[in-house]
Structure formats: C-alpha cells, structure tokens
C-alpha cells in the first residue's frame, strides 16, 4: 500500500522535482497539498497545515518544500499530528530547530528525513567508493551560479535565515561531508551586498583534522558558464565531480555512472526509512554554514538589485 502523502509549499522545487517524483513513485500517493497560492495537482488544496491535518486524517507523511524560515512550525505540527516528515534542504533556519524536531520525531516514533538531494546525485556514491583508502592532498569546491537565473524573485533567500549563497553552497557541503574525512572551518570571508541580509559570496578555508586543506568558493554572481565542481587531489590520482555530482572524472577520464535521478532516489530513501521506523538527520552541512556565520569575516559589496518581472529597463 502506497504511503499517503501531502506536500506543503508548491514553489519551484515542489513543481520541478517533488510532484513528478511522487507521481512516478509506487511508494507514495499524493493526497492533497497545503499552499498559500498554488493548487494541488491531486486532491484538495488547503491554505494552512493544521486545517489540512484536521480535514485529512488519512495523511501519513508530508514533504515540506517551503523556504527554511517557515518550515519549523509546519514540521512540528506534522509530527504532533503523527505524520512522518521529509524536510527539504536546509533542514532548518537554525540548528536548534533541527535538534528539537529530531527529538520530537524520536519521542513520537516517527520518521524525520532531513533530505540532502545532492547526495543522491549519481556520482556521489561512486566517488565515496573511489576515495576509500586513498590519501587526500587537497579538496577544492567551486560552486558558482547566477542567482538571477536560478533564484528569480526568491526574496526569502536574501532575508535572515535564507542563507544567500549558502542555499546552493550547502548542497556542495552535503556532498563534501559525505565523500571527505571530517573537516572544520579555519577562516573565511562572507561578502554581503550593501542592501541584503545574506551573503552573495563566500570564500572559505577548511582543514581536515590532519591538516589537509579543503577550500570552498561559493559565488552567486557567476555569469556565462556555471560551475558546480568538487576536485579532490589524492596521491593516487585526481577526482573531479562536476555539474553538482552528476558527472565524475578520474585523472580527466569520464566515468560511467548509474542512471540515478536525485528526487526519485530521495523518495525511495524516505519510504525505506518509514518502513524501517528510522530517521535520518545529518546536520553537518548546516553546521558548517553556521560555523561560517560564526567564524568568517564580513565585507560589504555592491548592492544586489533584482528587477521586478515586467519592469525590465529597455536598453537605450
Ligand atoms: P520558491 O520557489 O520560492 O518556493 C517556496 C514556496 O514556499 C512558495 O512558492 C510558497 O508556496 C511557499 N511559502 C510558504 N511560506 C513562504 C514565505 N514566507 N515566503 C516564500 N514562500 C513561502 O523556493 P524553492 O526554490 O522551491 O525552494 C524551497 C526550498 O527548497 C528551499 O529550502 C530550497 O533551498 C530548497 N530547494 C530548492 C531547489 C531549487 O532548485 N529551487 C533545489 C533543491 C532544494 P505556496 O504558495 O504553495 O505556499
């Protein structure tokens, strides 16, 4: 029997990835959704999660796809109502929220799945296997994308708790924490646009406990080709993960990879966790981001102004 699921927040990621992955999954059945503005492709659309849980007691699980700043209340309400919960990344706006939800899920005997979709990219598990037993000399993470292309109109990303460039950067950290030995932040610089509350770029130096450097360059101002690469230099060769973990090269040679798609794999994992009565909450990527806010220096850079749709200036 498929698990009866509701989706909360029908924005970009819900439309692009969650709804198609749920529709294609034999493990889940979409019952309804909670959305401030959208319409569920199946069942009723509720404007509030509490009303949804009251009206649809058969819901067994929810996927929370809103921005991180508003997810905690919905996650808590879902767990208190006895539902298993999938949290989009990042799992919260603070670490304390995530700890509170983890404890509540445990107390209630429910599954809490803090999903890191990039860990389900096809090259990530093969990279872990290739790195096993190798001596790492350095790792370089380059995550540079154009915020205007990938996050148009997402005001929440620039507000406190929205993470700015760490919204994509945390995906890189979710892969790095999976494939590399433990590392910690030693120094960094966060660049804040003069009119925004979140960084547009981050230049971070981490090191493993043996002193191996792990350098991260996150930038939202990239135009032209976009880069989502992790390069690991080892004594036995160089591993390059590119396109967010969807391609892998060893010493420049492209490797053949399993045909795995991130969100179908994520939902398969959610079903597996529910069946096993387990939770999966790895806070390390979020902890590194919190460390960057604690430990890195700040510089002010040019204001970030996004033109409102339909109000573009006509070139002279
Ligand atoms: P989005 O397009 O801005 O959608 C977020 C949706 O959340 C909104 O459309 C809205 O949907 C709902 N919402 C509820 N309260 C809101 C509030 N106060 N402000 C704004 N929206 C609110 O964002 P998204 O790209 O889907 O990202 C959502 C989450 O998924 C983020 O944590 C992001 O990191 C993660 N994610 C995004 C991507 C991506 O490529 N975009 C990829 C992976 C993960 P309703 O009107 O339906 O309530």
Give 84's DSSP letter.
E
Residue range 54-79, pLDDT digits in tens: 999 999 999 999 999 999 999 999 99
Question: How many angstroms does the Cα of residue 119 sit away from the middle of ligand 1?
Answer: 20
Q: Is 167 in the pocket of ligand 1 (CB under 6 A)?
A: yes
Catalytic residues: 89
pLDDT value at 180 more than 50: yes
Has residue 246 been placed in a domain? Answer: yes
Question: How many angstroms does the Cα of residue 190 sit away from the middle of ligand 1?
Answer: 24
Together in a domain, 157 and 258:
yes
Q: How many domains does the chain have?
A: 2
Q: Is 162 in the pocket of ligand 1 (CB under 6 A)?
A: no
Backbone phi, then psi, for 235, in 5-degree steps?
A: -65, -20
pLDDT value at 313 more than 90: no
Which of the listed residues 90, 115, 140 is the one where a domain comes to its end? 115
The whole domain housing 153 covers 120-262+290-301
Residue range 31-53, pLDDT digits in tens: 999 999 999 999 999 999 999 99
In this predicted structure, which of 116-130, 206-220, 298-312 has the lowest mean pLDDT?
A: 298-312
Give the Å distances, CA to CA, from 241 to 133, 137, 262. Answer: 18, 16, 15
Q: Is 88 in the pocket of ligand 1 (CB under 6 A)?
A: yes
pLDDT attached to residue 26: 98
Residue range 260-297, pLDDT digits in tens: 899 999 999 999 999 999 999 999 999 999 999 999 99
Kindly report the CATH number assigned to the domain that includes residue 15. 3.40.50.720
pLDDT attached to residue 315: 42
The structure tokens listed for 176 are 């790095």
Nearest CA to ligand 1 atom 10: 9
pLDDT attached to residue 309: 60
pLDDT attached to residue 310: 52
Q: Is 12 in the pocket of ligand 1 (CB under 6 A)?
A: yes
Q: Are 282 and 92 in contact (CB under 8 A)?
A: no
- The Cα 154–Cα 201 span in angstroms is 17
- The Cα 131–Cα 110 span in angstroms is 34
Together in a domain, 124 and 255:
yes
The residues near 34 (Cβ < 8 Å, ≥ 6 apart) are 6, 7, 8, 9, 45, 46, 47, 48, 49, 51, 52, 74
Question: How many angstroms does the Cα of residue 66 sit away from the middle of ligand 1?
Answer: 4
**68 CA closest ligand 1 atom index:** 32
Residue range 210-240, pLDDT digits in tens: 999 999 999 999 999 999 999 999 999 999 9
Q: Is 161 in the pocket of ligand 1 (CB under 6 A)?
A: no
Has residue 315 been placed in a domain? Answer: no
Together in a domain, 248 and 169:
yes
The residues near 155 (Cβ < 8 Å, ≥ 6 apart) are none
The chain-wide mean pLDDT, for the chain, equals: 96
Mean pLDDT of 93-115: 98
Has this prediction a pTM greater than 0.85?
yes
pLDDT attached to residue 105: 98
pLDDT attached to residue 260: 83
Question: How many angstroms does the Cα of residue 31 sit away from the middle of ligand 1?
Answer: 20
Give the Å distances, CA to CA, from 300 to 111, 193, 231. Answer: 42, 6, 29
Which of the listed residues 97, 115, 133 is the one where a domain comes to its end? 115
Has residue 248 been placed in a domain? Answer: yes
Together in a domain, 86 and 161:
no
Mean pLDDT of 165-189: 98
The residues near 281 (Cβ < 8 Å, ≥ 6 apart) are 91, 98, 101, 102, 112, 113, 114
């Amino acid at each position: 029997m498929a698990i009866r699921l509701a989706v909360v927040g029908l924005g970009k990621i819900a439309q692009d990835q969650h709804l198609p992955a749920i529709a294609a999954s034999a493990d889940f059945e979409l019952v309804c959704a909670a959305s401030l503005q959208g319409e569920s492709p199946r069942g009723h659309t509720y404007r509030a999660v509490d009303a949804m849980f009251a009206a649809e007691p058969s819901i067994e699980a929810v996927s929370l796809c809103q921005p991180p700043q508003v997810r905690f209340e919905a996650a808590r309400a879902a767990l208190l109502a006895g539902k298993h919960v999938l949290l989009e990344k990042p799992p919260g706006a603070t670490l304390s929220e995530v700890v509170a939800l983890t404890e509540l899920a445990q107390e209630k005997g429910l599954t809490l799945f803090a999903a890191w979709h990039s860990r389900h990219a096809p090259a990530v598990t093969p990279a872990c296997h290739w790195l096993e037993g190798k001596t790492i000399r350095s790792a370089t993470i380059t995550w540079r994308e154009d915020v205007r292309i990938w996050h148009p109109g997402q005001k929440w990303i620039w507000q406190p708790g929205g993470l700015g460039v760490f919204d994509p950067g945390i995906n890189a950290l979710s892969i790095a924490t999976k494939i590399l030995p433990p590392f910690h932040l030693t120094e960094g610089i966060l660049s804040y646009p003069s009119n925004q509350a979140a960084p547009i770029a981050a230049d971070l130096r981490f090191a493993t406990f043996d002193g191996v450097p792990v350098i991260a360059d996150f930038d939202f101002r990239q135009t032209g080709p976009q880069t989502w690469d992790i390069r690991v230099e080892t004594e036995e060769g160089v591993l390059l993960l590119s396109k967010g973990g969807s391609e892998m090269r060893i010493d420049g040679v492209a490797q053949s990879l399993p045909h795995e798609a991130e969100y179908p794999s994520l939902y398969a994992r959610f079903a597996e966790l529910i069946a096993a009565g387990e939770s999966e909450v790895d806070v390390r990527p979020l902890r590194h981001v919190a460390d960057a806010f604690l430990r890195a220096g700040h510089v002010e850079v040019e204001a970030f102004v996004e033109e409102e749709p339909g109000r573009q200036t006509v070139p002279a």
